[in-house]
Amino acid sequence: MRHSPHLRFCLNEMMGAYNDMNIKDAKNYIKDSVRIYLKKDEEGEYRIPVVRQRPIFLLGAPGIGKTAIMEQIAQELGIALVSYSMTHHTRQSALGLPFIVHKEYEGKSYDVSEYTMSEIIASIYDVMTESGIREGILFLDEINCVSETLAPSMLQFLQYKIFGRHQVPEGWVIVTAGNPPEYNKSVREFDIVTLDRLKILKVEADYAVWREYAKERGVHTAILNYLDMKKEDFYQVETTVKGRSYITARGWEDLSEMLKLYEEEEIPVEESFVGQYLRNERVVKEFTAYYDLYRKYQNDYKAEEILTGIVSEQAKDKARKADFDERLSLMGMLIDRIQQDIRENMLESQILSELMNPLRALKAKAETGEKAQELAALVGKQAQGRQKAMESLQKAGALSARDKRLNRTIAGFLFACEKSLRLSETEDGMAGFARVKEQFDAKVAGYKQDTERVKERMHFLFQFVEDTFGSGNEMLILVTECTVQADCAKFIALYGCEDYQRHNEELMLTERGSELSARIEELEL
CA distance 285 to 289: 6
pLDDT 10s digits, 465-491:
999 999 889 999 999 999 989 999 999
More confident residue, 98 or 512: 98
Strands 136-141 and 172-178: parallel
- List, in sequence order, every residue forming a beta bridge with 245; answer none if it has no partner: 238
DSSP for residue 472: S
First to last CA, the chain: 45
pLDDT for 195 equals 79
The number of angstroms, rounded, from the C-alpha of 253 to the middle of its chain's C-alpha atoms is 11
pLDDT for 7 equals 37
CA distance 457 to 336: 13
Number of alpha helices (DSSP H) and beta strands (DSSP E) in the chain:
22, 12
Gyration radius from the chain CA atoms: 28
- Residue-wise burial string across 447-484, b where 16 or more C-beta atoms lie within 10 A, e elsewhere: eeeebeebbebbbbbbebbbebbeeebbbbbbbbbbbe
Residue 94: pLDDT band (50, 70, 90) is: low
Instruction: Let me know: does 332 contact 214? Beta carbons within 8 Å.
Output: no
Query: How much is the average pLDDT of 252-276?
Result: 96
CA distance 488 to 340: 9
Residue 239: pLDDT band (50, 70, 90) is: confident
- List, in sequence order, every residue forming a beta bridge with 115; answer none if it has no partner: 98
Contacts of 190 (CB under 8 A, 6+ apart): 1, 11, 144, 198
The shares of helix, strand and coil residues in the chain, as percent rounded to the nearest 5, are 65, 10, 25
Which of 2-6, 165-169, 176-180 shows the lowest mean pLDDT across its residues? 2-6
DSSP for residue 86: G
Residue 93: pLDDT band (50, 70, 90) is: low
